[in-house]
Structure 1
Amino acid sequence: MPVEDLGLRRYAPALAVAGPALAVFAAVRLLGLAVLGVWGAAAGSSPHTLLSARWDSLWYARIAAEGYGYEVILPNGDVHSNLAFFPLLPWLERPVSAVSGLPHGSAGLVVSASAGLAAAWGIFAVADLLHGRRAGVLAVAVWAALPVGIVQSMAYSESLFTALAAWALYGALRGRWLTAGLLAAGAGLTRPVGAAVVAALWVAVVLAWRGGARSWRMAAGALLAPLGAGAYVLWVGARTGGGLLGYLDVQAGWGNGFDGGWAFARFVGAKLASSAFTAGLGLIAGVVLVLWLYGRCVRQRQPVPLLVYGGIVVALALCASGYFGSKPRLLLPAFPLVLPVAVALARWRTRRAAAVLGAAALLSAVYGAFWLNGSGPP
């Protein structure tokens, strides 16, 4: 069937431009899965189980299969409720499972793989718009080869959220307000950090409005943006009887909250005062690196919406009061942080940049296999 009969002619040129970036992303992810498979064969673990049926993946799959209402009461009285998990990923798992016959966790892998490609394309689109095609391909390569990149292949919501966030930000940068608003609403149905996408879009609207570019689409996009997260938070509040604070109460049951980073600082301090001193130094180095990269984003004069989005993602990840081992994963959607690295690599010779990124991808694959075969959860 001709391409035009499929209604894809308008997208074919853009797909051709993004093709190298998508190929690089797929190659890095396949390398990660291959190393995980080899590691699993040696350790006697199941890569499929690690990717689709452990930790958060189990919670999402249960929501897809049974809906909301499941909870676990811990010996100390804390309540782990599945209301803490936003609904878009399990909503997508349901039809994939129904059509394919796959279990919901496996359907989550299909959604995650598709969303990962969409995220890579969105990151490329933003980087290409700001810095050119070469930097766009390299930005995708760096994002795929992050130490916690294996999460992009899990039945988790990070890939889906990053795809929606990247394309929403691209829409805002291009003045496609309705599209950006709808995608921001989708991001708000995916993870609590969807608030970062909403804030970025609102800032973009305000700046454009002050610049004289005014239209009803801008107002509509700004109004659409918070509807996803707002609707879910209000629904949880009504279901729990907690009102506007109901969702915060659910998160508190999991030990999550926002304390400005005090609990994380105490966690790092405890590491430094123990036999895990080296791990404490590593955590400090990681935080310094993240903050340095954000500073580079500012000095690079990234568009304000990107700075707002990246800043909020970083702040929420570093200043949350629980699940310290998950902080690297929570930073995964902060893709603006990789743009300064991509721009620097774009100045290198192709062979040198490829060698560095290849080594990074291999280390990421090994670390991902080690991480998932550890105590978890990621």
Structure 2
Amino acid sequence: MSTSSAPLPEPAVPYAPVHRPPAGRARRRWHPAPAGVLAALALFVAVRAAGVVAVAATSRLSGRPLTKNLAHSWDSTWYLHIATHGYGRLIWITRTGEVQTDWAFFPLYPVLVRAVTAVVPLSPGAAGLLLAWTAAVVAAWGVYAIGHHMYGRAVATALVALWASLPHSVVLTLAYTEPLFAALAAWCLYAVLKDRWLSAGSLAALAGLSRPSGIAAVAAVLVAAGHEIVRRRGRVPPGLWAGALLAPLGWVGYVLWVGRRTGDLFHGYFRVQSAWSSRLDFGIGALRFLKALFLHGGGVVYPLALVVVAAGVLLFCLLCLERAPLPLVVFAGALVLLVVAVSGPFASKPRFLLPAFPLLVPVALALVRTWRARRPKALLLGGTLTAVSLAYGTFLTAIAHQPL
């Protein structure tokens, strides 16, 4: 959040949740463009554009191509290869002899990249960036819509600003799948809050095709639908049943497709992921990482990753204390659980938490309170967080070249 930003508008009801709309038609009314959304999106674009400029300037000084840093780093190369050549064409043998295949990567993003390159004269890397940047703005729009629906304009604006200024928000400007997943998940959750179950189920199915963690959006829809069914004693509209049935189709469908390709229908995908050191170990891998970190140190990236994960756990507890809507709690909780209970490169875990924007609700509420009481302090906090985000994002992508 820039220190030159305009003052945040006052909330209509100071700090009080407004996520319980009246029954009837008003509850299902869809408000895709609530008041103040354009200003919030402009703020989001300004912060993330500043991040791109910082990466571009640093890349030029270091002699490394900007497109390499933004569009062809780490996982991006796998997605772009799938978009160009399809599945089953790329493997990597690790130093321990594990065979990593492209089946570990979900298909929606590479399919969209291929579709864009088919109709627009862009390279796969440029198409991937166009999709990621567009999805990031759509995701910020969804984050604002949810924040506005729950708490009003001021908190919604703070929520978007905080999401743009996280240490790992640089990922929103890379050719990665987090922006696409965040966009689908945000609007899926908004649809649940607005009682639009068919839309929610469809978006959850697409989210399930975007990333392995898309299961979090599926869980949010299914748990919220189950709660409604119990609350209404089974007297629910057909759209709710249809949405609940649609929600898991994307994630389950891809997992079963990989299982069929590998010859093990129900376990094949999980064996593919295991080759990437990603398996359910209930936190044992995280404990081993902590032991190694305290014994041997870890530079800058790993300690900060630990701080981000610990903050995510704490913020989830605060989100529960705020009595946030059930689908937001389930979605954020599922992502936190996946980060803690599933093994994998610890440096990537903050990226996996990036779509968990509901975790920022307690911080957004506190920031608005600070803004009303001590505006200079709020500006200093926002400006400091933005500066740290830009500096750290530039360090990760253009200097450290650390796997994200």
Structure 2 vs 1, CA of residues 337 and 11 (structure 1 numbering), >3 Å: closer, same or farther? closer
Report the equivalent of 1:347: 369
Contact persistence 1:272–1:278 (CA under 8 A) = no
2:121 to 96, 101, 114: 101
TM, length-normalised to structure 2? 0.87
Report the equivalent of 2:352: 330
Q: Map of 1:198-277 to 2, 5 A cutoff? A: 198-212=218-232, 214-276=236-298
Q: Map of 1:273-284 to 2, 5 A cutoff? A: 273-276=295-298, 284=306
Structure 2 vs 1, CA of residues 270 and 279 (structure 1 numbering), >3 Å: closer, same or farther? farther
Paired residue total: 369
Report the equivalent of 2:13: none
Q: Map of 1:364-375 to 2, 5 A cutoff? A: 364-372=389-397, 373-375=399-401
Structure 1 unmatched ranges of 5 or more? 1-9
1:259 partner amino acid: D
Deviation at 1:260, TM superposition (A): 1.0
1:221 partner amino acid: G
Deviations 1:276-328 (A, max 9, x none): 49877655544432221111101100111111111110110122211111011
Matched, 1:63 2:54: no
Q: Structure 1: how far apart are the matches of 2:48 and 2:277?
A: 32
Deviations 1:129-151 (A, max 9, x none): 11111111110110110000000
Instruction: Return 88-97 or 181-190, whichever deviates more.
Output: 88-97
1:154 partner amino acid: L
1:39 to 48, 58, 72: 58
1:31 partner amino acid: A
Contact persistence 2:34–2:148 (CA under 8 A) = no
Matched, 1:79 2:104: no
Report the equivalent of 2:5: none
Deviation at 1:13, TM superposition (A): 7.5
Q: Structure 1: how far apart are the matches of 2:297 and 2:135?
A: 40
Report the equivalent of 1:27: 46
Q: Structure 2: how far apart are the matches of 1:17 and 1:361?
A: 21
Q: Structure 1: how far apart are the matches of 2:301 and 2:105?
A: 30
Contact persistence 1:268–1:283 (CA under 8 A) = no
2:291 partner amino acid: G
Q: Structure 2: how far apart are the matches of 1:238 and 1:261?
A: 29
Structure 2 vs 1, CA of residues 134 and 215 (structure 1 numbering), >3 Å: closer, same or farther? same
Report the equivalent of 1:3: none
CA-atom RMSD in angstroms: 2.0
1:273 partner amino acid: L
Indicate the SS of the match to 2:296. coil
Deviation at 1:172, TM superposition (A): 0.6
Deviation at 1:271, TM superposition (A): 1.3
Q: Map of 1:135-154 to 2, 5 A cutoff? A: 135-154=155-174
Matched, 1:53 2:76: no
Matched, 1:358 2:383: yes
TM, length-normalised to structure 1? 0.93
Contact persistence 1:36–1:366 (CA under 8 A) = no
Q: Structure 1: how far apart are the matches of 2:358 and 2:288?
A: 28
Contact persistence 1:116–1:159 (CA under 8 A) = yes
Report the equivalent of 1:296: 318
Contact persistence 2:305–2:350 (CA under 8 A) = no
Matched, 1:377 2:377: no
Q: Structure 1: how far apart are the matches of 2:183 and 2:261?
A: 29
Instruction: Return 16-25 or 172-181, whichever deviates more.
Output: 16-25
Structure 2 unmatched ranges of 5 or more? 1-28
Percent identity among equivalent residues? 43
Contact persistence 1:168–1:184 (CA under 8 A) = yes
Deviation at 1:18, TM superposition (A): 1.3
Q: Structure 1: how far apart are the matches of 2:334 and 2:242?
A: 23
Q: Structure 2: how far apart are the matches of 1:110 and 1:121?
A: 17
Q: Structure 2: how far apart are the matches of 1:278 and 1:48?
A: 25
Q: Structure 1: how far apart are the matches of 2:34 and 2:133?
A: 17
Q: Structure 1: how far apart are the matches of 2:301 and 2:289?
A: 11
Deviation at 1:16, TM superposition (A): 5.7
Deviation at 1:274, TM superposition (A): 1.8
2:184 to 164, 170, 185: 164
